[in-house]
Structure 1
Amino acid sequence: MGLLMGKVMDENLKKSQDFMLATQKLQLERQLQMQNQMRERMMAMQIGRARELFYWLGSFYTLATLGMLAGFERRRSPGMLVPFVPLTFIVAYQYDMAFGTKMTRIREEADKIMSEEGALLALPHDLPTFDTIEAARLGKK
């Protein structure tokens, strides 16, 4: 009788462990999905912010360029056009970030760093452990 009871308890334990593993797997999958959706929302906000900034920079660039051209017409001084060069770079950079392929190039560079230069991503003193966290919490560093 005891052997049969032990076998039933082992089966119940195994079923319980399998259920817990499946539940943990489902919870992890949900957490990963939620984190990815939050990451996508943050990226969309960054791109939206970049586009809004581009609209403002583009308007300023247009007005400044018209002002520089008008000043050049009046004075015939090439110095009036000097700000045109850096402003062009700034607006072009922002356009590339907001509407171009800059985000794709950044992602590709990040992939390259992760696959070829992973050592750059290592945390100092590796990942924290329960023991190191507890020692810090208790002031035992």
Structure 2
Amino acid sequence: MGFIFSKSMNENLRAQQEFMLMSSRLQLERQLLMQNQMRERQTAMQIAWTREFLKYFGTFFGLAAIGLTAGAIKKKNPGVLLPIVPLSFIFAYQYDMGYGTLLQRIKGEAENILDTQSALLEPPKGPLTFEELEKIRRSQSKFFIEK
């Protein structure tokens, strides 16, 4: 009788462990999907912000280029056009970020760093441990009572 009861309990335990494993896997998949969705939304916001900024900066750049050109012609001094050089670099960067391939190049470089230079990614003093966090928490806690 005890053997049958024990066998039944083992089967129940095994079924419960499988259910817990499946539940934790499903939870992890949902977390990964959520993190990926958040990353995609943040990237989309960054691109949209860049495109919106480009509209304003492009207008400013165009007006500045016209004004500086007119000023250079009027004063007969080509040095007045000098501010167009840095402004054009900023404009080109923003355009590349909003409509070009800058994000793909950044992604490729990030993948290269992950593959070939992973030592650069290690935090100073190595990864945080629970013990280190507890030590910091205790030192900062006003209500911690030593035992």
What's the TM-score, normalizing by structure 2?
Answer: 0.89
Tell me the distance in 1 between the aligned counterparts of 2:6 and 2:124. Answer: 49
1:24 corresponding residue in structure 2: 24
User: The residue matched to 1:138 in structure 2 has which SS?
Assistant: helix
Tell me the distance in 2 between the aligned counterparts of 1:57 and 1:37. Answer: 30
The CA deviation at 1:136 is 2.9
1:112 corresponding residue in structure 2: 112
Tell me the distance in 2 between the aligned counterparts of 1:131 and 1:14. Answer: 33
Q: Indicate the RMSD between aligned Cα atoms, in angstroms.
A: 1.4
The CA deviation at 1:122 is 1.2
Q: In the alignment, residue 37 of structure 1 is paired with which amino acid?
A: Q
Q: In the alignment, residue 28 of structure 1 is paired with which amino acid?
A: L
Alignment partner of 1:85 is 2:85: yes
1:58 corresponding residue in structure 2: 58
The CA deviation at 1:42 is 0.3
Alignment partner of 1:134 is 2:134: yes
% identical aligned pairs: 49
2:144 corresponding residue in structure 1: none
Tell me the distance in 1 between the aligned counterparts of 2:126 and 2:16. Answer: 34
User: The residue matched to 2:124 in structure 1 has which SS?
Assistant: coil
C-alpha offsets along residues 9-59 of structure 1, whole Å, 9 cap, x if unaligned?
111101000000000000000010011001100000000111111111100
Alignment partner of 1:5 is 2:5: yes
> How many aligned residue pairs are there?
140
The CA deviation at 1:131 is 3.1
Q: In the alignment, residue 133 of structure 1 is paired with which amino acid?
A: L
Q: Which runs of 5+ in 2 are unaligned?
A: 141-147
Q: In the alignment, residue 135 of structure 1 is paired with which amino acid?
A: K
User: The residue matched to 1:112 in structure 2 has which SS?
Assistant: helix
2:40 corresponding residue in structure 1: 40
Tell me the distance in 2 between the aligned counterparts of 1:138 and 1:75. Answer: 69
Q: Which runs of 5+ in 1 are unaligned?
A: none
User: The residue matched to 2:35 in structure 1 has which SS?
Assistant: helix
What's the TM-score, normalizing by structure 1?
Answer: 0.93
C-alpha offsets along residues 57-87 of structure 1, whole Å, 9 cap, x if unaligned?
1001100010011111211101111111111
2:143 corresponding residue in structure 1: none
User: The residue matched to 1:17 in structure 2 has which SS?
Assistant: helix
For the structure 1 residues 76 and 48, does the alpha-carbon distance in structure 2 shift closer, same or farther, using more than 3 Å as the test? same
